[in-house]
């Protein structure tokens, strides 16, 4: 089995969703799983070293510059595969899938779809390449309809395929973004309390946390409006923003002393999350968000945090109500928001352990072999 990625940056998500998946497949099914990664020429050697260090069974290749030239990488892929037997391939995203199919060097191709690509390019990425945004409907349709098998991150994504591309097959599995194997689901009250003290949070204050980037779909404007309403209604609320400096500026200026910005490595995030009381997954209404599977949802639950989530976020808005592990954002009564007990945090961590470990989806992964 080969796992093929194209134009993905090596970061915490790549580590947990690509490399950790390769390890899981190899260890669980006792099959050789090779990673082939096309990465940007910028900092190529540094990123190649990181990928090889994380997963030695990797071939890391420099992609042809600019996403608009994605097809020009076909020659190098064919060259690499010339010396290998035909194997099945899991291809992450539209471009990797089409390269795998067009190379004709693989036995069967599985489209590992991480979202609605046409929507994402037109809603958030159009400025990166207007040409790709215009062509993405055709490209994504090919990836969906011409693959032998498919992984969807949500049931909502499968519904999107049916509506947008008249997808009729049942050759797919739904596997949400799962936790990294080394993610812990044990609540450490002493460590959490020590962090709260470090952040200057008192026993009676409720600490919300936002963890993420400033990417367009993260909806910072919506977060700003949301927190403004919450803070005005409940003076005991504070916000921890685990993001790069600058993203917190607007709220910090509006609510002095109530917004804490902290930036740590991806390996430290889980520990930081345990200091909070609620995780925020507040996003604007868009097709991209409607079919998504934010890995942050699983990470919040693993830290024992009830999730305050917007409507129509993948399968998770309904999941929160079904499993009683948070509230819908617009239905949250800020004046009644209290700190969850240790027992409640442990109950929520058990939900994460049950629903967001890769082993939960062993049978779905087995079908790929």
8-52 pLDDT, tens digit per residue, is 989 889 999 999 999 999 999 999 999 999 999 988 999 999 999
Count CB-CB contacts under 10 A for residue 188.
Answer: 13
Quick one: pLDDT at residue 257? 93
Quick one: pLDDT at residue 295? 93
Q: Which strand (E) or helix (H) includes residue 321?
A: helix 316-323
For the chain, domains (ranges, CATH) are 2-174 (3.40.50.2000), 189-355 (3.40.50.2000)
The residues, any chain, with a CB within 8 Å of residue 92's CB and separated by 6 or more, are 3, 4, 5, 6, 8, 18, 112, 114
The strand pairing partners of 307, in sequence order, are 279, 326
pLDDT over threshold 70, residue 217: no
Quick one: pLDDT at residue 349? 97
b/e map of 33-55 (b: 16 or more CB within 10 Å)? bbbbbbbbeeeeeebbebbeebb
Q: Which two tokens mark 305? A: 């945090």
pLDDT over threshold 70, residue 262: yes
Quick one: pLDDT at residue 357? 97
Strands (E), 120-189: 149-152, 172-174
pLDDT over threshold 90, residue 269: no
What pLDDT digit, counting tens, does each position of 277-322 carry? 999 999 999 999 999 999 999 999 999 999 999 999 999 999 999 9
């Amino acid at each position: 089995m080969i796992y093929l990625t194209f134009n993905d940056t090596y970061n915490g998500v790549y580590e947990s969703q690509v490399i950790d998946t390769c390890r899981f497949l190899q260890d669980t099914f006792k099959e050789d799983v090779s990673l082939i990664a096309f990465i940007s020429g910028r900092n190529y050697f540094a990123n190649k070293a990181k990928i090889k260090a994380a997963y030695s069974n990797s071939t890391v290749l420099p992609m042809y510059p600019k996403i608009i030239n994605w097809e020009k990488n076909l020659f190098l892929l064919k060259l690499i595969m010339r010396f290998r037997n035909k194997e099945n391939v899991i291809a992450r995203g539209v471009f990797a899938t089409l390269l795998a199919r067009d190379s004709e060097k693989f036995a069967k191709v599985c489209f590992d779809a991480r979202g609605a690509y046409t929507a994402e390019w037109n809603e958030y990425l159009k400025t990166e390449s207007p040409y790709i945004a215009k062509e993405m409907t055709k490209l994504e349709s090919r990836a969906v309809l011409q693959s032998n098998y498919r992984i969807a991150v949500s049931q909502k994504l499968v519904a999107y395929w049916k509506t947008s591309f008249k997808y009729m097959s049942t050759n797919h599995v739904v596997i949400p973004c799962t936790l990294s194997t080394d993610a812990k689901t044990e609540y450490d009250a002493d460590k959490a309390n020590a962090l709260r003290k470090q952040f200057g949070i008192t026993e009676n204050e409720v600490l919300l946390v936002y963890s993420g980037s400033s990417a367009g779909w993260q909806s910072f404007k919506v977060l700003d409006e949301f927190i403004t309403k919450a803070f005005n209604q409940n003076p005991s609320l504070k916000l921890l923003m685990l993001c790069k400096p600058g993203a917190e500026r607007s709220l910090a200026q509006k609510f002095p002393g109530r917004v804490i910005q902290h930036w740590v490595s991806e390996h430290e995030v889980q520990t930081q999350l345990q200091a909070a009381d609620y995780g925020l997954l507040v996003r604007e209404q868009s097709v991209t968000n409607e079919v998504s599977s934010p890995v942050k949802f699983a990470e919040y639950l693993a830290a024992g945090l009830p999730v305050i989530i917007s409507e129509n976020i993948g399968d998770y808005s309904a999941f929160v109500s079904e499993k009683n592990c948070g509230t819908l954002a617009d239905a949250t009564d800020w004046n009644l928001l209290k700190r969850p007990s240790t027992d409640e945090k442990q109950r929520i961590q058990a939900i994460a352990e049950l629903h967001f470990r890769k082993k939960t989806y062993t049978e779905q992964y087995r079908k790929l072999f």
